[in-house]
Structure 1
């Protein structure tokens, strides 16, 4: 293979890449979102500067991807923390667990999504929308919400999903020292809200050393939503370089 041909590839193995070189389009992407109040000191321990914590809140989410170009269907679960950066309110993506390796690899390599492997599920059971996350054979989270109790305004639903998101892009060099250490930003703009609902909800988090969601404990459930959308994820943009800051 010629040198210029190597540059046409975005990941390895060359003959069987870890993910397809496509911009994924999500059709029937279904969200269960539960916003809850947590311990402020626990948030301070995981939210990196220069992001600022606005309130001691966390958004727990389970997302069922009905159809995704390049990856196929999969399910994902995670935590997002409301923050602000230079006066703009958004969310810091703290943790994401999913059951699809190509989506995991792509999210980490191409962007900066904090993705790792887990087993989330989203389904309806006896009048409740249920979201669960297992890590290996152990339960990490169980969320329940009344199924389609009250309609949610589509504009409000879209606003929940299209807030700016911030992530850490960390990549070591061959000597083990950081080669890339950036705070990056992304924001969904291409979205269609198909359904949106709200209702009562509960959330339980269970201790696990390799999936430490419970380090941000549930003190009070604030709100919940159930949203079905079509959308396209945008590219990320670096907004802060930690290595440049360290060299000053």
Structure 2
């Protein structure tokens, strides 16, 4: 293979890429969102500067992707933290666990999504919407919400999903030190809300050394939503270079 051909590839292995060279379109992406209050000190320990925290809140999410171009169906769960970057309010993506390797590799390499392996599930059980996350054979999160108790305004649901999102892009060099260390920003703008609901909810987090969601403990459930959407993820833009200021 000629050198000019090598640089036409976006990922390795060259002859069997880890993910498809396409911008994925999500059809019938289903969210279970539970916003809860946690400890300020716990958030300060994990949210990187220059992001700032106004309230000690976390959004636990389970997302079932029924149809994703390039990846196929998969499920994902994780934590997002409401933050402020200057005057702009958004969310910092703290952790994401999913059961699809192409989506994991693409999310980390092309963007900066903090994706890791896990087994999330989203289902309905006796009138409750249930989201779970297992790491290996152990349960690390269980979320329950009353199934379609009250309709949620589609505009409010869209605001939940389309807030600016901040992530860390860290790529090590061959000497072990960071070669890239950036804070990046993205925002979903191409989103259609098909259904939106709210209702009572509960969330349990269980301690696990390799999936430390419980390091942000649940003190109070603030709100919950169940949303069905179509959307396309937008590219990321660097907003802060840690290597330039270190």
TM-score range, shorter chain: over 0.9
Q: Distance in 1 between matches of 2:103 and 2:116?
A: 10
Question: Which TM-score applies when normalising by structure 1?
Answer: 0.99
Partner of 2:223: 223
Deviation per residue, 1:39-86 (Å, 9 max, x gap): 000000000000000100000000000100000000000000000001
After TM superposition, which residue ranges in structure 1, 4 or more long, deviate above 6 angstroms?
none
| 1:1-248 alignment, distance < 5 Å | 1-246=1-246
CA RMSD of aligned residues (A): 0.3
Q: Distance in 2 between matches of 1:63 and 1:191?
A: 15
- The DSSP-based 3-state class of the residue aligned with 1:97 is strand
Deviation per residue, 1:173-232 (Å, 9 max, x gap): 111111000000000000000000000000000000000000000000000000000000
Distance apart, 1:15 and its partner CA: 0.5
Deviation per residue, 1:100-156 (Å, 9 max, x gap): 000000000000000000000000000000000000000000000000000000000
- The DSSP-based 3-state class of the residue aligned with 1:52 is coil
- The DSSP-based 3-state class of the residue aligned with 2:235 is coil
Question: Which TM-score applies when normalising by structure 2?
Answer: 1.00
Distance apart, 1:31 and its partner CA: 0.1
Structure 1 unpaired stretches of 5+: none
- The DSSP-based 3-state class of the residue aligned with 2:108 is helix
- The DSSP-based 3-state class of the residue aligned with 2:222 is strand
Q: Distance in 2 between matches of 1:160 and 1:102?
A: 26
Q: Distance in 2 between matches of 1:241 and 1:141?
A: 33
Structure 2 unpaired stretches of 5+: none
Q: Distance in 2 between matches of 1:245 and 1:201?
A: 43
